Amino acid sequence: MADTPTPIELQKYLGGVEYPASKDDLVTAARGNGAPDDLVSALEGAGADSFDSPTDVSSALSGS
């Protein structure tokens, strides 16, 4: 996954996450759902420590 993950990919790998969620919650969920290492790394490097919605996660990963 060289590009920013699509919202569908995020939904797949972050399924079951309740928002607001911490960065650690997202990383744990992604790993548990079999996310590729580059997506997990992108989450770990996301600019925020907590997220109010999946849209916030997408925005943080896309840099917008």
First-residue to last-residue Cα distance in the chain: 19
Calpha distance 41→38 (Å, rounded): 5
Mean per-residue pLDDT pooled into runs of 10, the chain (64 residues): 76 95 97 95 92 94 77
Indicate the DSSP class of residue 5: P
* Cα dist from 23 to 33, 36, 39, whole Å: 15, 16, 13
What's the whole-model pTM score? Answer: 0.88
CA distance 43 to 38: 9
The predicted pLDDT at position 51 comes to 97
